[in-house]
A = this chain, B = another copy of it.
Amino acid sequence: MKLGFVSAIFPELGLEEVLRFASEEDFSCVELMCWPPGRTERRYAGVMHIDVASFGADDAKNIHDLLECHDVSISGLGYYPNALSADPAESEVAIAHIRKVIDAAAALGVRLVNTFAGRNPALSVEANWPRFLEVWRPLIRQADERGVRIAFEHCPMLFTGDEWPGGKNLATSPALWRRMFDDIPNRNFGLNFDPSHFVWQQMDYIAPIYEFRERIFHVHAKDARIDRKALDDHGVLAYPKLWHTPKIPGLGDVRWGAFFGALSDISYDGPVAIEVEDRAFEGSLDKRRESLVISRRYLLQFLTG
């Protein structure tokens, strides 16, 4: 496996700075954020380390030079919008930009785009499904034609009242994955697996590694801790952020030895990108750098880098 990180944690750094940090701290890859230019309200969203909107032939060359210079590879391009938003403008922008990320990935030879299925949070899963197929069938076809794979991260995107009730992402459980891969069986369509989402949804994250072994294209290393006392007060139906906290790997409830044991069993040999959404480490650029250094040290006991 290749140990890297998600570049969203460094919104203020340019691409070269991100790669230099990766290189200095011995990360072998980075998932590079490709949001469109402009502001965003959502935490961790809106970061752009590759501008795919105006991606030209020179860009690929320049990026490859930088990568070579720092001896770092790209684990995947990342863009996590809500392509199924109830707001047509938001949905259109997302779809159009996903197409550009796919094209840039093809141009760069990266072959993997990480994203969200998206969801209209006001509607049930069933009510979202037709629109999900309508939006994603052509996108996955486009990716497939360019030799690029699409990986859905399975975060429910439901934390507080902002995303209530349904959250902004459909692809949240093995039950829905089965349905999703039945309806769109394309082999270039898969998952960006992150065990932390399963921790707080109170699901086993080991068995699905075996069941979906052909679909795991990318791994996010993020942890989460259930706050037992708060859960006792609120219950699982309350906003999830009331009773769980995202943490860096090793400081939460994920059993990482079992997790990497299972990944080794399925011969997973792709990227493992540390994703930092732990507020304890967001106070400064230094703290965020530090969070990656600690996380890497923690994970190196289970995998090569």
Cα(A144)–Cα(B47), bound, Å: 47
Q: B207, B242, B278: which contacts A229 (Cβ < 8 A)?
A: B207
Cα(A225)–Cα(B252), bound, Å: 22
- A124, A126, A238 — most chain B CB neighbours (10 Å): A238
How near does chain B come to A170, taking the closest CB pair, in angstroms?
11
Kindly state whether residue A285 has any CB partner on chain B within 8 Å.
Answer: no
Residues 287-305 (chain A) with a chain B CB within 8 angstroms = 290, 293-294, 297-298, 300-304
- Counting every copy of the chain, the complex holds 6
Residues 161-190 (chain A) with a chain B CB within 8 angstroms = 161, 164-167, 172-175
Kindly state whether residue A237 has any CB partner on chain B within 8 Å.
Answer: yes
Q: A161-B126, A264-B251 are in contact. Are A298 and B294 (CB under 8 A)?
A: no
Q: Which residue of B lies closest to A261 (CB)?
A: B251
Interface pair B237/A158, CB less than 8 Å apart = yes
Size band of the interface chain A makes with B: 35 or more
Residues 232-266 (chain A) with a chain B CB within 8 angstroms = 232-238, 240, 242, 245, 247, 250-252, 257-258, 260-261, 264-265
Q: B232, B233, B264, B280: which contacts A265 (Cβ < 8 A)?
A: B280
Cα(A158)–Cα(B124), bound, Å: 13
| B-side contacts of A300, CB under 8 Å | 294, 297
| B-side contacts of A124, CB under 8 Å | 161, 164-165
How near does chain B come to A302, taking the closest CB pair, in angstroms?
6
Stretch of A7-15, A73-81, A106-114, A198-206 with 4 or more beta carbons under 8 angstroms from chain B = A198-206
Kindly state whether residue A95 has any CB partner on chain B within 8 Å.
Answer: no
| B-side contacts of A231, CB under 8 Å | 202-203
Interface pair B235/A172, CB less than 8 Å apart = yes
| B-side contacts of A240, CB under 8 Å | 237
Cα(A126)–Cα(B165), bound, Å: 13
Kindly state whether residue A36 has any CB partner on chain B within 8 Å.
Answer: no
Residues 208-239 (chain A) with a chain B CB within 8 angstroms = 225, 229, 231-238
Cα(A247)–Cα(B206), bound, Å: 15
| B-side contacts of A173, CB under 8 Å | 233-235, 237-238
Kindly state whether residue A38 has any CB partner on chain B within 8 Å.
Answer: no
- A166, A264, A300, A303 — most chain B CB neighbours (10 Å): A264
Known: A174-B232, A245-B265. 6 other contacts (CB 8 A): A172-B237, A174-B233, A175-B238, A201-B235, A251-B264, A294-B304
8 nearest A-B residue pairs (beta carbon): A165-B165, A251-B261, A201-B235, A264-B280, A236-B236, A298-B301, A204-B232, A175-B233
